[in-house]
Structure 1
Amino acid sequence: MEEWLHENWVTFVCDGTTVMLGKKSGVATRLTSKFRKLFVWHCMNHRLELAVSDAVDEVNSVNHFKAFMQKLYSLYSMSNKNELKDAAAEVDSQLLCIGRVLDVRREASSFRTVRAVWTSLEALVQHFKSAYHDETRSTKEKQIYRGLLDRVQSPEFLCDLGLMYDTLHELSILSQELQARPVTLLRADHLLKCTIRVIHSFKESPGQKYSEALEAKDRGMLYRSVALKQNVKLISIHPRQFLQSIVNNLEQRLSFEDEIIKDLGILDQSKWPSNPSIRHGEEQIKRLCKRFNLCKDQALNGMRDLLEEPNSKPKDLKPLINCMKTFPVSTAEYDRNFGLMNNINTDKRAVLLVSNVSNLMMINISGPPTSKFEPQKYTRTWLMSHHTASSIHSRQCRVKTLVESKSVWRIL
């Protein structure tokens, strides 16, 4: 088994915890000491979360926005009753999507929270007003709702919400693309650079939601049916500072600086010169073949065929391309498998053996769709093995003989 791993194991991907990537006794360190050619990769989705977290730490004003969203989460998601139903029943399902924002989690969940608040802004204002004027509430509760109302009605908060909506929307798209099964490192690099350029462009040309917020601020302080009121006490987010911090941390956390990644980039035709020579990328191909125990001459012939006909798919390059596709971009596949295991091994099916759980997971992950399942042959095997409830063979019990009963008394 170990010899097979030496020949075929290409990549090990994990999150950035000390247990996994510790320099002295981390799992990756121990594996690379045993398998010298193993390529270790830090999950890009996890690095994306860390980049956003670093940007939040650098821009202190974002923490005020984060604290307010946490307050909404505590008010509506953690409460035993949902008081927004009376204010706007039609947006109740949207508001229930509010969760934690800008935490160490997938960016898509943070975006869903911001989108829910943006969509339900009118309902929030209406609810805070009714709660503030409710005479049955205590003075403390009424003051809490007054503070929430003053913040939601401010143009500063609306601009912050629009800025976070546009930024988190782009980051959530990137996060979901990185979690896709067929994505490769070259495709991930392309997606990352596109996202960085889009976020950087927001500094000069604001996104859609931020533009709507600025327009509402300049157009009579009115957004939809919400009358905006200036709140000088509110510390708003500086857009250019926040966007530049996001860009800097994305470039720092998700940069492709490893030599292997740069060598794999030779297969990206968009990076070729206008008139590449017939020996273009020869050194990179040789290093890759040496690293992954591939035939150097075969790969070079395939590369030359590709240079002669860029639209072709040389067979000689197929082993190298297949090796490149085995490089996992993130650990999202592992997370999906753990979620699948939890769906299979529920509380009511806790008696399943590990082998049975493994087989069921394999069928769900790699098996054909249900529409292509042919149960006839399995049913015949089941019937021939007398496993049905109506079979008399399955009901036969072994009766203890008199000799076996006497043997017990002899022991006593």
Structure 2
Amino acid sequence: MSEPPRFDRGHTDDLMSFLAASPSPYHAVANAAERLEKAGFRQVAETDAWDATSGGKYVLRGGAIVAWYVPEGAAPHTPFRIVGAHTDSPNLRVKPLPDTGGHGWRQVAVEIYGGPLLNSWLDRDLGLAGRLTLRDGSTRLVNVDRPLLRVPQLAIHLDRSVSAEGLKLDKQRHLQPVWGLGEVRDGDLIAFLEETAGLAAGEVAGWDLMVHSIEAPAYLGRDKELVAGPRMDNLLSVHAGTAALAAVAGSGAGLPCIPVLAAFDHEENGSQSDTGADGPLLGSVLERSVFARGGSYEDRARAFAGTVCLSSDTGHAVHPNYAERHDPTHHPRVNGGPILKVNVNNRYATDGSGRAVWAAACEKAEVPFQSFVSNNSMPCGTTIGPITAARHGIKTVDIGVAILSMHSVRELCGADDPWLLANSLVAFLEG
């Protein structure tokens, strides 16, 4: 490269730390905010009046964060450059009445969130994390990052057909984790978490809790070319977007646009929430930024018309054991650079003009990129991309990093792809 890349393998090291420290969307946005604070960003409350000052700002709402950097002298109609991502991952989430069990076992009642690979949750040491809401309305993050729970698989001696016919799991009966022995007592789990968080008994009035694998992310392979870890879908993109925004803000003089990170919750179940991409959060923040700088509705319309969003989410690398499941002419490979996602039925938002924007960013960053389309015989997944384009009238391009084992407790990516993605996002955000 003509200049050293802004990010290198050290970015992947930091990604692994970010994944380990972010077992829930609430932890992920708290960790992203902490990184942005170190880069000079400051939090603004949605209930306060916003001022016209330049610099980095961010809004937190539940498991979502929207952050933006206003260059000195930015006009009200200055367009935005947005990196969009999501903070949630498929998992097991605690029910309102969590204490259950029988036959001498104490268990935790869980509900299936999103579309996880259910078998990947079996026979693993699991922790518990999320958000506790207190009686005064405040919230407290909690993370029990030690072996606390386990979903035990049935022994083969009691299911001789499993090897020939495959594992069949009933979502209600077979995925309730055990966490102790003895009589089931209502209130035990929340009392345990109150004690863990240093709270008084009875102080917790509500909770948003989820199960996670406590196994740390790790480099894998003879030459450590791969990374195995949890929640790469889609904290890999959240981390890259955070790092890119902080880097651009650090050299923000002369930017022709306003760089933005928008990381939403609830993508895995449709994005329809006040913190999801189909909610009003992004539009509200962008509009208020325009109006805070003295802009009119006309300025807002001009800014949105010139705005581009990269919807960054993980995609599928070609699987060596199932190559026939992929399109025969599109085989994204790990460590081959980020992928451009295309679907003519608009499951992805990319079109030809969007491809040109992405290609220009990658060329500027000297980062190779690959193209992904689904096999015509396979249904195509989707992202926040089409939702963002339709809701806000913003040109949107779907991109990401190719991985294996998507929606597993433990996913697999190339060790170079995270930093290649981050470098391409910097070039994009710089306009």
* TM-score class, shorter: under 0.3
**Rg larger in structure:** 1
Q: Which has the higher helix share?
A: 1
Q: Which has the higher strand share?
A: 2
Instruction: Give the alignment's TM-score, normalised by structure 2.
Output: 0.23
Flag the structure with more relative contact order, 1 or 2, with Cα contacts below 8 A and sequence separation at least 6: 2
Instruction: Give the alignment's TM-score, normalised by structure 1.
Output: 0.24
